Amino acid sequence: MKTIHTAAELKQCITDQKKADRTIGFVPTMGYLHEGHLSLIRRAKAENDYVIVSIFVNPLQFGPNEDFDRYPRDIERDQMLAAESGTDLLFHPSVEMMYPKQPTVTLKVSERADVLCGGSRKGHFDGVATVVAKLFMLTQPDRAYFGLKDAQQVSVIEAMVSDLNLPVNIVPCDTVREKDGLAKSSRNVFLTKEERTEAAGIYAALKEAGEMLLSGMNVNEAQKRFGRSLAQRVSGEVDYAEILSYPELLPPNDNSARLIAAAAVKYSKARLIDNILIDRSSDGKEKRNNDV
């Protein structure tokens, strides 16, 4: 595996791969890799000739008083894990390389961004869309891999690619979980022992919501029960516990076939997000499994 830091180096690597007619799989990350990231890398390796992983903590997607400076970083550890998982090229640019000056043009996400995480993090998905579009331009991948733990992000990026006719195939990948159901996340290291134990209740409440919806329960009633269940299971502050249509992220009705049940909980030093996707098409008994 080779590690590079500049756009010029990356351009040469991309040129070499294109000349050799190799397909490129891309996994964008903010580093501090865990099994969720590694599963994306392994899938990219299985489906492409050449795999690029980026590690870049993007300041544009962090708001005031958020954890940009505290976001965990360990590039040597990440290099080892990325190499072991099949990465061919690790792109690790600096903030100065990615944004040498104040951006003249950024992207504005007009839909799907003002609910769930976007409801309390204004401008967050504008920053996500801007950096992902920039990374797509730099890496020119055939396929890009994203975890469904942040299904809202996947929805926004899929819409961006469609709207801008970007020549990349987005591959959503299943959420990877601990044995007790907690979604793997770089922020889990900030949980206290007690918080870590009870955080599994987030997924338990989500599964309960999914079961209610698949049983034919009215969406509004399922929403109320979901919120109560989550609040009873965790001591952290519930940022949201919502059921929406997917991928539109609009208020659903009882005829909505595809739904997302999503939650965010703020603990003392970490904010955790999780979701499940529910498919009520056909006989109403099908469920899309976005867990590993």
Residues annotated as binding site? 30-37, 61, 147-150, 153, 176, 184-187
3-state DSSP of 94-122 = CHHHHCCCCCCCCCCCCCCCCCCHHHHCC
3-state DSSP of 223-243 = HHHHHHHHHHHCCCEEEEEEE
Residue 37 designated active-site: yes
Question: Residue 290's closest CA among 150, 188, 161?
Answer: 150
Q: Show binding-site residues for ATP.
A: 30-37, 147-150, 176, 184-187
Rounded CA-CA distance 191/196 in Å is: 5
User: Dihedrals φ, ψ of 123, to 5°?
Assistant: 85, -5
Rounded CA-CA distance 290/174 in Å is: 4
Catalytic residue among 5, 37, 92, 124: 37
DSSP letter, residue 6: S
How much of the chain is in helix, strand and coil states, percent to nearest 5? 40, 20, 40
The residue type found at 196 is R
Q: Show binding-site residues for beta-alanine.
A: 61
Would you name the residues annotated as active-site residues? 37
